Amino acid sequence: MVLNIRNEAKIMSSKKMELPSNLEQQIVTGIMSGYKSYLDERIRAKQNLKVSAAYAWTKGNHIDSEVAVAVENNQTIDFSTAKAGYVWEYLQFTATSPKSDETGKALIFIKGSRSAKKNFDGKKVSQPDKNYLREYAKINQHLFKSGQVSGTSTNHSVQLELPINEIRSSASDSFKTSDFDRFYIVTYEIDKAYQISSIKLTMPDPSSMSLVIVKDLTDLIQNSMVTIETEEFDAVRGDKVPDAQYTDQPFGYEIAAEEEQNPES
């Protein structure tokens, strides 16, 4: 799934939509731990098997699992296994606000992103009838319509790393979109050196099929205390994701518009 991002710009946070800082750090730590776990597994597989390239598709499971471990003592978040397509399984995280003056429940997915070779114009194209991300994006409809969340387009392209069966699957039967008030996708990007170079908290806008960046979590990587040695990347060097694993539908990034400040407040 292609994400159209236009123009690199300063991130402007929508404070009300940010997650608690401790939860954001736990998610980032889990992503880093999961990626390290995945790299170590790729090394073992390469050493023990005659062929092991299929392990490239286990990265998401490693990352989801380690995020679950990182948040397991956090009483404000829970997780469950969901299935997309016939065999693809992933974790769905559900979070509630720890603040007594806030209500609502958030659905959180962790998804990888990678730089695309070309920019897309952002024009809408026909979409599969059953697209679980598109269905869940409707959770945020009231937030964008009411103006609680808005965004400004940017100019950079990435792709969500989603197997084709996952993209074309409908929302999990275990959840209904009406069960939630907010839907987030935490995206992580892996650069040409095979390192995780950025992690962003985003909210899908169902009307524009764009991802609004609520907060850039990249600075939290250094606090994760996860060290990945150079040789750990050896097993994944040369990995390529086939173009057939992606659809040509746009799901672009936007920058969350900063709330106007009341000069009297």
Note down pLDDT in tens along the chain; length 265 residues.
444 443 333 333 467 789 999 999 999 999 999 999 999 999 999 999 999 988 988 999 999 999 999 999 999 999 999 887 677 788 999 998 755 445 579 999 998 875 322 222 234 545 544 567 778 888 988 888 777 766 665 555 444 555 544 444 545 555 567 789 999 999 999 998 999 999 999 888 887 777 888 899 999 999 999 999 999 999 898 887 544 344 333 445 555 555 444 434 3
8 A C-beta contact, residue 15 and residue 259: yes
Question: Distances from the Cα of 38 to the Cαs of 93, 113, 193, 233, in angstroms?
Answer: 20, 16, 16, 10
Angle at 183 between CA 89 and CA 265, to 5 degrees: 155
- In the prediction, which pLDDT does 73 show? 95
Note the pLDDT of residue 57. Answer: 87
